[in-house]
């Protein structure tokens, strides 16, 4: 059964017994077998023409070519979880489901031989065979049989026949034991027995039950009483076929022995969780192997190439929407960095450069490329991935929020924005713009809700917006506040081109404003250009001046009310009526005296307005806004 060109010789030596040439072979074998495991892992994920696979196969072929320049044959011993060379362990992987040594060992392979003349295509065929056999179900994945059929020219193996015979005999004994059948006498073991069956008698006769069979129909302590009618059905349930876990020879899943009070859905969830923890996905295997290469490899060029492979693999996973894999890659590289630390400054620099790539511009471009195709997206996994990248993802997240229509997804994105940008209000404020009206309204709420007024000053950015609705939201958000910065921003809105915004801002101004700003506003109201504003806007601003109850405002309003012209003037009348509104909002004795004076002055409209304002003041009713 074993196919070899010379007798087996793989066995362990002490490291100190190795001569210089053996040590060289061991070092080269370590490099070759690590690369082989990586190539086999990559081939499970990608086609053979994929760039990642090509790189690994080219690298592996190059390592063999270099080895064969000096040596004619590489002899690799196969142990349960290790490969050996020259008596030394050169590669170990104790994870059964992905271990390459175990893959060969389980079918009886004890030694692998690689001969000079091994070319790239034969090497690729060998790796393809490993992939093909590993993906077959348990009974068909015999690598020894596959190697025998393939009959490679420069790859041979040694698998002793007695191993296979023992394995067959052991399986036979297990089968007999399972059936509880007696073994044949030794003198009949190799005889051919003729068995005749009369099919007609299958429907005749009767079944005699043994005492132990009858016990299944009897009442047992601790069980409910079984009626004769229900006994056969329950007995049938007792001897129902075993679960798939039992028939596979594996231990039953925890769900099979779980609390009987679990419902069907909970049992399925439990089984899924157990399965997920028992399986190592090909992507994870590939990432683990590549990280292991970087950790163990002394050649910096190989480390750099392996890290480049990880970077490209991450971009490919992102384009396919596999955000969990991309997250795992970043986590694995960060782990590498923490483990290597200061031990190898040059390798540390390579890993840091790789991390910069993993969280760099191309990463975001890959995500954007995926979402531009309207592909289905796991938003939970994407936002978890974005958490690793940090604030650099906020602009893209803002775009996703505006384009998204699902309320649940919008809520998740908004929560991510709050969490990621919360320490820097300016970062959040920069996400708002006229092209993102929905997000801009949310940004206003986030900034106004931040503790210690941290976000208020950043609302001044909205003064330059074009959207009327967004600016109105800012004005309303600031209107109920009494801090100086809020009032300063509202004063800024008094210069907005939109009259309605100016009026709303004036109505929301805090009357306890400092004197300098009141004086500045009086100066603006005294300007001839102010007279061109609409009556409503004039009234709003002069009403604010009245609410300040300052001496400067009182003097200004009394002066405006008493100002008359030789010829009737509509603009002057509008200013005097606005002054009436300002004095009414002031509500002081001095303001009432001025209104009484105005009620006796010139201009019928002004006199009537003063009389009505006085009447409302005396009744204690609120002034008309």
pLDDT, tens digit (0-9, with 9 covering 90-100), for 552-586: 999 999 999 999 887 878 999 999 999 999 999 99
Interatomic CA distance for residues 296 and 502, integer angstroms: 69
Does the pLDDT at position 606 exceed 90?
A: yes
**How wide is the angle at C-alpha 184 spanned by C-alphas 178 and 187, nearest 5°?**
155
| pLDDT surpassing 50 at residue 232 | no
Q: Is the pLDDT of residue 594 over 90?
A: yes
DSSP helix/strand/coil, 9: coil
Beta strand 155-158 with 88-92 is unpaired
Kindly give, in sequence order, each residue whose CB lies less than 8 Å from that of residue 231, ignoring residues fewer than 6 positions away.
Answer: 217
What 3-state class would DSSP assign to 158? strand
pLDDT: which is higher, 194 or 10:
194
pLDDT, average across residues 217-229: 47
What is residue 201's predicted lDDT score, i.e. its pLDDT?
66
Residue 283 has pLDDT above 70, yes or no: yes
Kindly give the pairing relationship between strand 111-115 and strand 155-158. Answer: antiparallel
pLDDT for res 41: 83
* Rounded distance between C-alpha atoms, residue 60 and residue 568, angstroms: 100
Report which listed range, 85-99, 152-166, 582-596, is most confident.
582-596
Q: For 23-27, what is the mean pLDDT?
A: 88
Split at pLDDT 50, 70, 90, the class of 123 is very high
Residue 393 confidence (pLDDT): 93
Instruction: At 506, give phi and psi (nearest 5°).
Output: -65, -40
CA distances for 360 relative to 336, 511, 526, angstroms? 19, 50, 57
CB 108 within 8 A of CB 160: yes
Mutual orientation of helices 468-479 and 437-449 as an angle, nearest 10°?
A: 10
User: Would you say residue 233 has pLDDT above 50?
Assistant: no
| Of 87, 132, 83, the residue nearest 112 (C-alpha) | 83
State the pLDDT at residue 224: 46
Q: Report residue 493 CA to chain centroid gap.
A: 42
- Polymer length of the chain: 625
Q: Cα(387)–Cα(395) distance, rounded to whole angstroms?
A: 13
Q: Are 464 and 445 a contacting pair, CB within 8 Å?
A: no
CB 56 within 8 Å of CB 39: yes
- Which of 224-233, 480-489, 509-518 shows the lowest mean pLDDT across its residues? 224-233
Residue 237: the pLDDT is 43
**Residue 125 confidence (pLDDT):** 93
Cα 263 off chain centre by? 30
Please report which confidence band the pLDDT of residue 421 belongs to, taking 50, 70 and 90 as the band edges. Answer: confident
The model's confidence at residue 89, banded by pLDDT at 50, 70 and 90, is: very high
* pLDDT tens digits for range 495-518: 899 999 999 998 888 887 677 888
- What local confidence, expressed as pLDDT, does residue 225 receive? 45
The answer to whether residue 301 scores a pLDDT higher than 70 is: yes
Question: Does residue 40 contact residue 130 with C-beta atoms inside 8 Å?
Answer: yes
- Would you state the pLDDT for residue 318? 92
How far is the C-alpha of 497 from the C-alpha of 582, rounded, in Å? 23
Q: Residue 373: what pLDDT? A: 85
Please state, in angstroms and rounded to a whole number, the distance separating the CA atoms of residues 488 and 463: 11
Looking from the CA of 146 toward its CB, the CA atoms found within 13 Å total: 21
> Of the given ranges (139-148, 237-246, 483-492, 583-592), which has the lowest mean pLDDT?
237-246
Q: How far apart are CA 265 and CA 125, in angstroms?
A: 45
- Sheet containing strand 82-85, edge to edge, reads 88-92, 82-85, 73-78, 111-115, 155-158
Q: What is the pLDDT of residue 342?
A: 75
331-381: pLDDT as tens digits: 999 988 888 877 788 999 999 999 999 988 899 999 988 988 888 889 999
Q: Which two tokens stand for residue 601?
A: 């002055």
Confidence grade of residue 114 (pLDDT, cut at 50, 70, 90): very high
Cβ-contact 546, 583 below 8 angstroms? yes
**Residues 443 and 437 sit within 8 Å (Cβ to Cβ):** no
Structure tokens at 191: 């005889």
pLDDT value of position 239: 41
Q: How many CB atoms lie within 10 A of CB 584?
A: 24
Secondary structure of residue 467 in the 3-state scheme: coil
Which range is least confidently modeled, 220-224, 314-318, 425-429, 510-514? 220-224
Of residues 523 and 10, which shows the higher confidence score? 523
> Residue 464's pLDDT band (boundaries 50, 70, 90)?
very high
Tens-place pLDDT, residues 148-185: 889 899 999 998 866 555 555 555 566 555 555 555 55
Residue with the bigger pLDDT between 453 and 255: it is: 453
Token code pair at residue 38: 């990586």
Radius of gyration of the chain (CA): 43
pTM of the model: 0.57
> What's the CA gap between 53 and 38, in Å, rounded?
9
What gap in Å lies between CA 434 and CA 467, rounded to an integer? Answer: 6
**Per-residue pLDDT at 311:** 92
What angle is formed at CA 172 by the lines to CA 167 and CA 176, rounded to 5 degrees? 150
Give bridge partners of residue 89 from the DSSP assignment: 84
Taking CA 54 as the corner, what is the angle to CA 49 and CA 60, rounded to the nearest 5 degrees?
140
Residue 372 burial (C-beta neighbours within 10 Å; 0-12, 13-18, 19+): exposed
Q: Counting beta carbons within 10 angstroms of the beta carbon of residue 525, is it exposed (0 to 12), middle (13 to 18) or buried (19 or more)? A: buried
- Structural element, H or E, at residue 487: helix 484-493
Average confidence score pLDDT of the chain? 81
Q: Which residue has better confidence, 219 or 340?
A: 340
With 80 as the cut, is the pLDDT of residue 485 above it? Answer: yes
Residues paired with 158 in a beta bridge: 111
Q: Do 358 and 314 contact (CB within 8 A), yes or no?
A: yes
Residue labelled with tokens 């025998």: 148
Residue 585 sits at the vertex; the CA angle it makes with 579 and 589, to the nearest 5 degrees, is 90
pLDDT band of 249, cuts 50, 70, 90: very low
Q: Can you point out the beta strands (E) in 50-130?
A: 73-78, 82-85, 88-92, 111-115
């Amino acid at each position: 059964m074993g196919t070899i060109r010379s007798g087996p010789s793989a066995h362990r030596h002490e490291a100190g017994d190795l001569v210089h040439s053996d040590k060289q072979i061991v070092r080269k074998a370590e490099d070759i077998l690590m690369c082989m495991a990586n190539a086999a892992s990559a081939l499970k994920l990608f086609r053979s023409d994929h760039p990642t696979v090509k790189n690994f196969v080219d690298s592996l072929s190059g390592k063999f070519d270099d080895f064969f320049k000096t040596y004619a044959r590489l002899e690799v011993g196969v142990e349960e979880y290790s490969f050996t060379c020259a008596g030394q362990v050169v590669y170990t992987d104790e994870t059964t489901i992905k271990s390459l040594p175990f893959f060969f060992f389980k079918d009886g392979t004890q030694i692998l031989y690689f001969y000079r003349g091994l070319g790239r295509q034969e090497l690729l065929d060998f790796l393809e065979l490993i992939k093909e056999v590993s993906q077959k179900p348990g009974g068909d994945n015999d690598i020894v049989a596959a190697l025998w059929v393939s009959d490679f020219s420069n790859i041979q193996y040694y698998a002793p026949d007695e191993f296979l015979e023992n394995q067959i005999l052991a399986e036979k004994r297990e089968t007999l034991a399972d059936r509880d059948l007696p073994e044949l006498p030794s003198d009949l073991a190799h005889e051919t027995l003729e068995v005749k069956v009369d099919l007609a008698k299958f429907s005749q006769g009767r079944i005699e039950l043994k005492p132990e069979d009858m016990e299944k129909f009897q009442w047992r302590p601790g069980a409910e009483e079984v009626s004769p009618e229900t006994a056969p059905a329950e007995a049938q349930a007792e001897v129902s076929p075993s679960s798939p876990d039992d028939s596979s020879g594996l231990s039953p899943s925890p769900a099979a022995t779980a609390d009987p009070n679990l419902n069907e859905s909970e049992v399925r969830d439990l089984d899924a969780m157990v399965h997920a923890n028992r399986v190592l996905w090909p992507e994870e295997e590939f990432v683990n192997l590549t990280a292991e290469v970087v950790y163990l490899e002394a050649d910096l060029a190989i480390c750099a190439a392996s890290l480049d492979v990880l970077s490209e693999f991450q971009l490919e996973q992102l384009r396919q929407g596999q955000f969990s894999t991309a997250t795992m890659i970043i986590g694995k590289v960060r782990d590498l960095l923490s483990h290597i630390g200061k031990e190898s400054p040059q390798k540390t620099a390579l890993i840091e450069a790789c991390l910069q790539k993993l969280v760099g511009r191309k990463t975001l471009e890959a995500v954007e490329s995926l979402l531009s195709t309207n592909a289905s997206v796991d938003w939970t996994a994407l936002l978890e991935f974005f958490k690793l990248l940090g604030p650099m993802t906020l602009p893209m997240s803002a775009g996703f929020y505006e384009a998204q229509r699902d309320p649940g997804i919008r809520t998740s994105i908004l929560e991510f924005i709050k969490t990621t940008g919360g320490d820097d209000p300016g970062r959040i404020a920069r996400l708002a713009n006229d092209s993102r009206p929905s997000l801009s309204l949310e940004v206003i709420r986030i900034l106004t809700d931040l503790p210690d007024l941290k976000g208020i000053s950043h609302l001044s950015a909205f003064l330059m917006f074009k959207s009327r609705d967004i600016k109105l939201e800012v004005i309303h958000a600031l209107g109920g506040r009494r801090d100086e910065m809020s009032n300063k921003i509202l004063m800024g809105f008094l210069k907005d081109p939109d009259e309605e915004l100016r009026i709303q801002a004036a109505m929301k101004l805090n009357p306890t404003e400092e004197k300098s700003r009141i004086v500045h506003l009086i100066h603006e109201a005294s300007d001839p250009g102010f007279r061109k504003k609409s009556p409503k806007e004039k009234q709003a601003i002069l009403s604010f001046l009245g609410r300040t109850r300052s001496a400067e405002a009182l003097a200004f309003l009394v002066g405006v009310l008493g100002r008359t012209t030789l010829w009737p003037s509509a603009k002057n009348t509008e200013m005097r009526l606005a002054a009436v509104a300002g004095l009414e909002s002031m509500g002081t004795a001095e303001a009432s005296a001025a209104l009484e004076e105005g009620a006796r002055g010139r201009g019928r409209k002004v006199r009537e307005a003063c009389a009505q304002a006085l009447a409302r003041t005396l009744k204690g009713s609120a002034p008309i806004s």
